[in-house]
Amino acid sequence: MILTLLSYDIVSSIRWIKERMKKHPITFSWFLVLALFSVWLVTEISNTAVRIQNIPTISPYRVIFLIALFFMAKSAVEIRRGTLKNDRMEMLISMPESTVNLYLERVLREIVYNASLFAIGVSILVLMIIITGNYFPITLEYYVLSITAMLLGTICGTSISIFACYCGAIRYLGMMASALPMGIAYVVLEKIAPKYFPLLLLFSLFLYPLPALRFSDVWGLQVREKATHRGRSRLFGRNVIFAKDLLLRVREKDIVGSSMLIVFIVLAELYVWKTPISVPRQRLGLLIKPITVMMFAYLALAIEFVIPLMAIIGRERRTHWFLKTLPLQNKEIIKGKVMARLLLAPIMAIVPIPLCILYSFPLELIVLVLTATITLTFIFSAIGLYFGVKHPNLEPESDGNPEIMTMYAALILCLIYALLAVGIPSGIYMHDKFLGILAQIFAADMGSLALYLMIEYSAEWADKIEV
């Protein structure tokens, strides 16, 4: 039974991939090119880190820990979306099968998916090594540790998503217990001896029994939502859609998530500031700090604007009928949704400033960074909106979130546009500061124009979407 379900899931996924490849061959090819490029980039960065010994933030074992962390986050999100919030699970739970076994099937399914992803990554890496020569120092032990990290991350992430559905103390205790192997993993890899790392897999098995036994109860909790709010609220703003989206952002704790992102970025900036960086060449030394600052801006803006705007239509898949029957212009609807998303844009724009101050940047450079962040806010929002309306994810189980291939393409496109929109004015700034700032202001104007035009075009595209 378990294997039948598992094979059904795998066959469905393969069919889905085939369908996507057939439907969007260019997007798929583009995704492959980008994947190759990313692996090359990572190997180059790793090699640079090996050569420049004084960058302590990148070490081989820290990469292992990051792999575990990545798979933990991925599994937690996927189990929540694909299992705990999946109406189709009703059918499986009604079958004469114990929930312990059903849970096992979901864990195995997640392991198979993660292992496939891991295998693809490794294949590309091997391909790179063959093409470029065996220059990347990967040992057999390193591979074993990487696979262990993938498995450990999957088990912890699955367990976290189950405990996150509970209320009260059990929720927090369970989540902390689920994350415990990850904490131990860090200590083992960094402080004790990496050879003991695989033993953690045995330790993580204790995470299996309780979530497995309570699996069906947790699923029920997720599907039938509890009313967490009772009472009346005022709808803000003249635009009805803005008012609705704002209210939803508050109630769905999206605003809390955005605030946490800001705090996280600022803490990460403090960490980076505390980390000593010594660079071999003077010219690189001049650039490395502003680049670090802009990487934080990229990260914050991509998470806050690009990814959510890519879900602008997908998230409304089931409520699309409501928007379609409102006597409102499509432009008004899109504008309202974009405005609700851009609410925290002024705060996001100043997110890189603390690091600028900590690095003692001159005032004119801080102004340049601030203007560059504003430019990126407009451009990233326009790109997110484009993909959100042109390529919405209308798959029932996706919760409207952009699919990995589209998201990847959008994020790389953002990076390219960021290089152009910030790189050119920065180049001018290096020759003439005043002119550089003016060029950046001009780029910000162009960015706002791009967003304005994108809202106009999106209204037309959105009109053609049929759910």
Binding site residues, another protein, CB under 8 A: 225-233, 235, 240, 243-244, 247-248, 251-252, 318-322, 324-329, 463-464, 466
CA distance 30 to 53: 34
Which residues, at least 6 apart from 328, have a Cβ–Cβ distance to it below 8 Å? Answer: 240, 241
Residue number, 226 or 431, with CB nearest to another protein: 226
Q: Which residues of 87-105 are buried (b: 16+ CB within 10 A; e: fewer)?
A: eebeebeeeeeebeebbbb
CA distance 387 to 186: 37
Residue number, 164 or 212, with CB nearest to another protein: 164
Which residues, at least 6 apart from 425, have a Cβ–Cβ distance to it below 8 Å? Answer: 368, 371, 372, 436, 437, 439, 440, 442, 443
Which residues, at least 6 apart from 5, have a Cβ–Cβ distance to it below 8 Å? Answer: 92, 102, 105
Shortest Å, Cβ 19 to another protein: 12
Residue number, 193 or 227, with CB nearest to another protein: 227
Residue number, 47 or 329, with CB nearest to another protein: 329
Shortest Å, Cβ 385 to another protein: 21
CA distance 399 to 312: 11
Shortest Å, Cβ 188 to another protein: 42
Shortest Å, Cβ 316 to another protein: 9
Residue number, 244 or 391, with CB nearest to another protein: 244
Shortest Å, Cβ 230 to another protein: 6
Residue number, 73 or 247, with CB nearest to another protein: 247
Residue number, 289 or 337, with CB nearest to another protein: 337
Shortest Å, Cβ 126 to another protein: 40
Half-sphere exposure of 14 (CA within 13 A, CB side): 8
Q: Which residues of 115-150 are buried (b: 16+ CB within 10 A; e: fewer)?
A: eeebeebeebbeebeeeeeeebebeeeeeebbbbbb
CA distance 33 to 424: 25
Q: Taking phi first (over 0 means left), then psi (-120 to 50 degrees means alpha), and beta for anything else, what does residue 403 get?
A: beta
Shortest Å, Cβ 335 to another protein: 14
CA distance 176 to 164: 10
Shortest Å, Cβ 206 to another protein: 34
Residue number, 47 or 233, with CB nearest to another protein: 233
Shortest Å, Cβ 247 to another protein: 6
The tokens for 272 are 């980076």
Residue number, 195 or 251, with CB nearest to another protein: 251
Burial class (CB in 10 A: 0-12, 13-18, 19+), 346: exposed
Q: What is the CA radius of gyration of the chain?
A: 24
